[in-house]
Amino acid sequence: MLVELRGSGLEELKILTSARELLEKGEVLDVTWYREKLYVAGKPDKWQNCVAADTRGRLVNSTGSVLDGGVFDGSISMAGGRPLAAILGDGSVVTWGLGFSGGDSRSVRDKLKNVLQIQATVNAFAAILGDGSVVTWGLANAGGDSSEVRDQLKNVQQIQATSGAFAAIRGDGSVVAWGDADFGGDISAVRDQLNTVQQIQATRHAHESFTDSAAFAAILGDGSVVTWGGASSGGDSSEVRDQLKNVQQVQATSHAFAAILGEGSIVTWGDAGWGGDSSVVRGQLNNVQQIQATERAFAAILRDGSVVTWGEAFSGGDDSAVRGQLNNVQQIQGTSLAFAAILGNGSVVTWGNAGFGGDSSAVRDQLTSVQQIQSTYAAFAAILADGSVVTWGRAAMGGDSSAVRDKLRNVQQIQASAQAFAAILSDGSVVTWGHGLSGGDSSAVRDQLNCNYA
């Protein structure tokens, strides 16, 4: 049984007694928080006032104390605890984590064959099959239900996602979108402009309940850009439309976009406080090669290996404390509020919110010969040249890998959900850590995770 609850305050949302206890007893099967609603699978007669949500979308306990963006102490995750999905070598799919956010794919298991690519919103998945069709599952109004556009989802080449909607590029360069309209699921206003689409980028927030909109930006064959979705999240690019020519790449924070033009300059739009205004550093943004983003700030790598940042200082928009170290930068990765840069010598420099991975001092001596970095909402994981892994950041979101450290050998690749990591080893096996309901606990599907992955 799936029950949808919503209310205007704490008194109307008396939902769970002890989340951990009810889950262990099987009286509550799953929960997920989406757009000021709490979806609960279980027995309604067990709901009492212990964990609920207030009118601002924050999670609180029975004493009224605000929890830190979700219940990260292992009891339960309600704020966008995204599950994980793996494509096996035979083209089938294994999912785990929060069930009706996409962790349970049993309803579409028979359709998930010859899968080529999977994309995810916070609470749903979309898979492209070998014949160009698409299969979706998860929370219906977050993109898990594509029935209204099923007949249009043919010859699909690529899918992009905001935190609440999907957009698919078809072979003829047209676009099909579905999901929450405020998050880009409705393209009716720009459908006629979406021709010869080459690439789509999306604003997104790892925790859906903390934002009310998101947007897409599509690069067309002539180098121009078409945007749609929430205007405040970058869906309205009218003020910079004339500048968006010969666009090579687009990157996004939660509420703003940044486009690299052919000559290496940058055009930004969207919420000014979230990176949409780059005027302060405009004179420095020349010969830009690559852009990376946190939820509220951008970091651009220039041709000479230096870095320019802008956006909210607390979220990585101010690199002044480490600017002297940012030389010969090869790659940058971001959590929601911090950046990590790999230098040419294989060392790593971090900045931004310390609790979200911006402080790597505890593992600095271990960060040598780093080949790749991946991130969750608040933690980083680095693969070293010898195939071992170093993690830092918020422990409950993957920053603490001590429980699986001995298993992390010969790691070839790491993928991440909002709060957990999954490492693929050279023998095709998978090691997971982080928040259990976000994919950090793969014990239920361990026997299936013994193939090669796409």
Q: Tens of pLDDT along the chain (454 residues)? A: 333 333 333 333 333 333 334 434 444 444 444 454 444 444 333 333 333 333 333 333 333 333 333 322 222 223 334 566 777 778 888 877 666 677 788 889 899 999 888 888 888 889 999 999 999 998 888 899 999 999 999 999 999 999 899 999 999 999 999 999 999 999 999 999 999 999 999 997 654 444 678 999 999 999 999 999 999 899 999 999 999 999 999 999 999 999 999 999 999 999 999 999 999 999 999 999 999 999 999 999 999 999 999 999 999 999 999 999 999 999 999 999 999 999 999 999 999 999 999 999 999 999 999 999 999 889 999 999 999 999 999 998 899 999 999 999 999 989 887 788 988 898 888 889 987 766 777 777 776 665 444 4
- The answer to whether the CB of 299 falls within 8 A of the CB of 308 is yes
Q: For the domain 114-236, what is the CATH code?
A: 2.130.10.30
Paired tokens of 201: 């980028």
Rounded distance between C-alpha atoms, residue 4 and residue 39, angstroms: 5
Residue 209: its pLDDT value, please?
A: 43
Rounded distance between C-alpha atoms, residue 243 and residue 356, angstroms: 34
> Which residues have a Cβ under 8 Å from the Cβ of 25 and sit 6 or more positions away?
none
Residue 449: its pLDDT value, please?
A: 62
Point out which residues pair with 332 in neighbouring strands.
341
For the chain, what's the residue count? 454
15-58 tens-digit pLDDT? 333 333 443 444 444 444 445 444 444 433 333 333 333 333 33
- Taken in order 299, 303, 305, 308, the sign of the CA dihedral is negative
Residue 82: its pLDDT value, please?
A: 57
Residue 437: its pLDDT value, please?
A: 64
Classify residue 443 by burial, with Cβ atoms within 10 Å: 0-12, 13-18, 19+. Answer: exposed
- The answer to whether the CB of 42 falls within 8 A of the CB of 10 is no
Residue 103: its pLDDT value, please?
A: 77
Residue 77: its pLDDT value, please?
A: 27
Point out which residues pair with 215 in neighbouring strands.
229
SS3 readout for the chain: CEEEECCCCHHHCCCECCHHHHHHHCCEEEEEEECCEEEEEECHHHCCCCEEECCCCCEEECCCCECCCCCCCCCCCCECCCCEEEEECCCCEEEECCHHHCCCCHHHHHHCCCEEEEEECCCEEEEEECCCCEEEEECHHHCCCCHHHHHHCCCEEEEEECCCEEEEEECCCCEEEEECHHHCCCCCCCHHHCCCEEEEEECCCCCHHHCCCCEEEEEECCCCEEEEECHHHCCCCHHHHHHCCCEEEEEECCCEEEEEECCCCEEEEECHHHCCCCHHHHHHCCCEEEEEECCCEEEEEECCCCEEEEECHHHCCCCCCCHHHCCCEEEEEECCCEEEEEECCCCEEEEECHHHCCCCHHHHHHCCCEEEEEECCCEEEEEECCCCEEEEECHHHCCCCHHHHHHCCCEEEEEECCCEEEEEECCCCEEEEECHHHCCCCHHHCCCCCCCEC
Residue intervals in the chain for CATH 2.130.10.30: 114-236
Answering whether pTM is above 0.85, one says no
Rounded distance between C-alpha atoms, residue 38 and residue 101, angstroms: 12
Rounded distance between C-alpha atoms, residue 75 and residue 59, angstroms: 13
Residue 296: its pLDDT value, please?
A: 93
419 half-sphere exposure, CB direction, 13 A CA radius: 28
- The answer to whether the CB of 310 falls within 8 A of the CB of 272 is no
- Taken in order 282, 270, 356, 369, the sign of the CA dihedral is negative
Residue 454: its pLDDT value, please?
A: 42
Whole-angstrom CA distances from 28 to 11, 99, 240 are 20, 12, 49
Residue given tokens 């090869």 in the structure block: 330
Per-residue exposure over 280-289, b if at least 16 CB sit within 10 Å of its own CB, e if not: ebeebbeebe
Tell me how far apart the terminal alpha carbons of the chain are, to the nearest angstrom: 34
